[in-house]
Structures are given as C-alpha cells and as structure tokens.
C-alpha cells in the first residue's frame, strides 16, 4: 500500500469498531500480522478479542528485563490463557555495555540516555519480533497522549520497511476500554487499580494523581512531547 491508499482506507473506516478494523487488516494481509502486546489495558483487550475470534494473528511481548513484578505475573497468566505468546528479550551484550558504561539507571540523567536505553530494551527487540511480518497490531488510542492525536486506524510503518501498522482501538476512550475488559472478564495488571493508567518499565513508571494526564506517570521527569520510547515514531519513506 501507499500513503494515498492508507488515507483512503482511514476515511472509509473512520469510526469503525475494532473487529471491523482487524478484519480489514486480515483482508489486506491474510498472513503475517502480529500483535505487539505490552500487557497494558488496550493490548489485553486486543489479545482477548483476537483469541476469542480465533483470528490468525500472532502475538508477542517485549520483556525489557525491568518490568514490574505484577506485569510478570500477568504475563504468566496471559501465556496460560491466551497462548501462544512469544516473548522477546533485549540483547544481553548491549544491555551489559550500556549498564557498565553509563550505570544501571542512567536514563534519568538525560533524554539521550533514556532513548538509548529504550532503543536497547524495546526498539531493537521489536525489530526482531517484526522480522517477516506483513503488519503489526497496536493498542494505541488517540487520547493517550499529545503525540498520538493525529494517528489513524491504519498507518505505514517506515521504521520497519513500510509494513502496515494497525491501531484497532484508535477511537476508543479509556472508558470504552475498561467497559470491554470488565464485560469480557479480561485479566488486567493490578497496578491499573493503584493509579497506574500506563505501565512500562518499573523505574520509568509511577502512579498519577487525580486529574493528571494519563501519560504523566511515564518518564515524569521529561516534557510531554518526549514521552515516547521509540516504538511508535512516524517515519517517512
């Protein structure tokens, strides 16, 4: 597909429910679609939807090595309930070099060091996870952060060779997501009930206060426009 075809697709399916968006993605690519499951609210909803409908979409998790204990517990539960679920780890030599050179929590010292840590623990494993994929599914929603307001249900991911990137929940609100999870009895990370709307690595995630932006608990020492880890950057051809 090219950019004009993607724009037309987004116009045609504007406001469509997640199952319709997923079916359209499968029409375009019957094989090779993969769900990137962060084990957050949105991705657990998608994992449940995909497995319940028995859609031919693979799923994987990126284990950065620094997740919360609660996240590892949910991963074990998800592997039992929604298998198969592939787990990808960062390259050990790259992690060792970063820690030995800069320090274990060097990401707090500068934006460049934080992005370098994310590149090692998330971006490079994602690249390996998407090798051979025709497209990938994400749980992005427009109201999650200022950096995501302009996203469509379908995008071209130039960072991974121009493959299709599909955001089935793009029009959902946080309330929509919770309603689906509760109605379907989908397991969620207990940290979500402790003030964590967005959960990433343990050192980079905190609970938020009432009224704070949902992404305020991610890399809270940085300005809002920088709060992406590199997995969802938009690249031109």
- Higher-confidence residue of 66 and 146: namely 66
pLDDT in tens, 164-200: 999 999 999 999 999 999 999 999 999 999 999 889 9
Where does 3-226 sit in CATH, by number? 3.40.50.620
Taking the domains of the chain in order of start, what are their residue ranges? Answer: 3-226
Catalytic pick from 117, 118, 201, 229? 229
Q: DSSP string covering the chain, please?
A: --HHHHHHHHHHTTT--HHHHHHHHHHH-SS-EEEE--SSHHHHHHHHHHHHTT-S-EEEEE--S-B-HHHHHHHHHHHHHH---EEE---HHHHHHHHHHH-TTGGGT-HHHHHHHHIIIIIHHHHHHTTT-SEEE----GGG-GGGTT--SEEEEGGGTTEEEE-TTTT--HHHHHHHHHHHT----GGGGGT-SS--BGGGB----TTS-TTTTBSTTS-GGG---STT-----
DSSP structure string for 49-64: HHHHTT-S-EEEEE--
> What mean pLDDT do residues 217-228 have?
74
208 — pLDDT class (breaks 50, 70, 90): very high
Q: What pLDDT is recorded for position 221?
A: 86
Q: Are 135 and 29 in contact (CB under 8 A)?
A: yes
pLDDT score for 236: 47
pLDDT tens for 11-56 read 999 999 999 999 999 999 999 999 999 999 999 999 999 999 999 9
Q: Is 117 an active-site residue?
A: no
What is the reported pTM? Answer: 0.89
């Amino acid at each position: 597909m090219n950019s004009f075809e993607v724009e037309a697709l987004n116009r045609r399916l504007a406001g469509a429910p997640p199952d319709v968006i997923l079916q359209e993605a499968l029409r375009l690519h019957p094989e090779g679609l993969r769900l990137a499951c962060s084990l957050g609210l949105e991705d657990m909803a998608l994992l449940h939807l995909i497995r319940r409908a028995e859609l031919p979409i693979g799923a994987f998790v990126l284990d950065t090595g620094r997740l919360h204990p609660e996240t590892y517990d949910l991963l074990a539960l998800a592997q039992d309930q929604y298998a198969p679920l592939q787990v990808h780890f960062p390259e050990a030599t790259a992690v060792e070099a970063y820690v030995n050179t800069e320090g274990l929590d060097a990401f707090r010292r500068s934006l460049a060091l934080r992005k370098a840590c994310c590149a090692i623990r998330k971006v490079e494993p994602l690249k390996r996870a998407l090798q051979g994929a025709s497209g990938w599914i994400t749980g992005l929603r427009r109201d999650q952060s200022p950096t995501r307001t302009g996203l469509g249900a379908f995008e071209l991911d130039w960072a991974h060779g121009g493959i299709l990137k599909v955001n089935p929940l793009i029009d959902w609100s946080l309330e929509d997501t919770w309603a689906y999870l509760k109605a379907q009895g989908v397991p969620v990370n207990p940290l979500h009930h402790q003030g964590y709307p967005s959960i990433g690595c343990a050192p980079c995630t905190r609970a938020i206060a009432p009224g704070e932006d949902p992404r305020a608990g991610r890399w809270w020492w940085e300005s809002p426009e920088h709060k992406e880890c590199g997995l969802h950057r938009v690249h031109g051809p």
